[in-house]
Structures are given as C-alpha cells and as structure tokens.
Amino acid sequence: MNIIIIGIQGSGKGTQAALLHKKYGWPHINLGKLLRDHIIRKTELGLVVKEYIDKGRLVPDDLVIKLIKPVLDAADSGFILDGFPRNLAQERFLLDNYRIDGVVLLDLDDETAVKRISARRHCSVCHTDYNLLINPPKVENTCDLCGGKVVMRDDDHEEAIRMRLNKFHLKTKKVIELFQERGLAIPIQADQPVEVVHQKILDQLNL
Ligand SMILES: [Zn+2]
C-alpha cells in the first residue's frame, strides 16, 4: 500500500505512521528526516540542500524530487509518506509517477493542537520527551531518568505554535483539495485515543 499521511503538529501523525510501519513493515518516509540525513552525511545533494536552508530559503522542488524519488522507487512493497508533497508541483509529480492508495488526513482543531503541543516538555540534560497531559514526569519538572530539569522548548510557546499552525494550513490547503478531487482523501478525527485513530485508519484503508 502506498499511503500519504497529513496532519498538523500535535495530530499524532508520527505515532500513527509508526504503528502502520510496525504492523506492515512499509517504510515511513519522512521528508524532513530525509533532508537532515543527507545534510549530516554530507552527500552531494545534502550539501546543496544545506545551502538553501542556511540562507533561510525553500529547497526547490526539483532538488526535493531528486532526493525522494530513489527512496520511493526502492519501496516496492509500499510506503507511508510524511511531509511530502508540500505543494502542487510535488503533488503532481507524485500522482503522475506512483499509485497512491489513500491520503490519511488527521483532522485536529487548532485549539486542541495548541493544548497538546504546549504540554510538551523535555529533559534539558538527557532530552527525554514528556507531555504533561499524557506522560508527565513523576516528580514535577524533574526527569525520571536522570533527575535533570524538565523544560519547555522555546518553539513550543503558544505564539510560535499558532504561527506554525497557520503556515501549515496555508501550505496544505491546495494540496488537500487536489487529493479530495481525486477521491483519495480519508479524513480521520484525530482527537481520539491513539488506538481508536489507528483502527479507523485500518478500516478506511480496508486493511
Ligand atoms: Zn533526563
């Protein structure tokens, strides 16, 4: 199965992709992670990507496609695609070259997303993740593992979160509309327990 998963931060997108990967073994292809990986390994394309990112510029579509195409081509039993496509040009490349079985849209209203994201904390020493809503440290502000101070990331403050959410909506609106036109969009209410969302995804994809 070739699946795309789209959802705002806090929608549980990474968790759902991981559950699908665990159950079916299809690779979870995350564009952001792929770009970072190329930069870390200092590949030829990675060095070019880094130049764009360092200048605060968008990585051009032809470069993104050059990076993602071999990964998609190698995934011959299926893939779970995350963070791509980001615009219509990338979406057309995908639709023209691959069979897409379904596009899971994890719907979460902004208020719930803000609540979930602003509850995130991490240990300032060993970087273990916590969430005050679902997975708080046993002792307030103190890491269970190393006793380090548990803090909020700067970019998890409400104003920064709202800016990211607005940017996401602006960027994905047209992408989602085209998937809807093609009859591929599968909206799933993400404000439910992880297991319930997972089961709904399986039902909708006839898995
Ligand atoms: Zn720690």
Nearest to 134 by CA among 48, 193, 50: 193
Nearest to 94 by CA among 71, 69, 77, 75: 69
Q: What is the pLDDT of residue 9?
A: 87
Q: What is the pLDDT of residue 98?
A: 97
Give the residue carrying structure tokens 């916590």.
130
Q: How confident is the prediction for the chain on average, in pLDDT?
A: 95
How far is 86 from 92, CA to CA, in rounded Å?
11
H-helix segments, 98-157: 110-118
Give the residue carrying structure tokens 């609540």.
115
Percent of the chain beyond pLDDT 70? 100
Give, as residue ranges, everything with CB less than 5 Å from ion ligand 1. 123, 125-126, 128, 143, 145-146, 148
Give the residue carrying structure tokens 């849209």.
105
Q: What is the pLDDT of residue 152?
A: 94
Name the pTM for this structure.
0.87
- 99 catalytic? Reply is no
CA of 149 to the centre of ligand 1 (A): 7
Q: What is the pLDDT of residue 86?
A: 92
Q: What is the pLDDT of residue 194?
A: 92
- 41 catalytic? Reply is no
CA of 140 to the centre of ligand 1 (A): 13
* From 153, 167, 174, 182, active-site residue: 153
Q: Do residues 120 and 153 touch, judged by C-beta distance below 8 A? A: yes
Give the residue carrying structure tokens 């190698």.
74
Q: Tell me: the pLDDT tens digits for 84-143?
A: 999 999 999 999 999 999 999 999 999 999 999 999 999 999 999 999 988 899 999 999
Average pLDDT, consecutive stretches of 10 residues, N- to C-terminus, the chain (207 residues): 94 93 96 95 96 93 96 96 95 97 96 93 95 93 97 91 93 95 97 94 95
> Which amino acid is it at 83?
G
H-helix segments, the chain: 13-24, 31-40, 44-54, 61-74, 88-97, 110-118, 158-181, 194-204
Q: What is the pLDDT of residue 154?
A: 86
Q: Which fold has domain 2-27+75-204?
A: Rossmann fold (3.40.50)
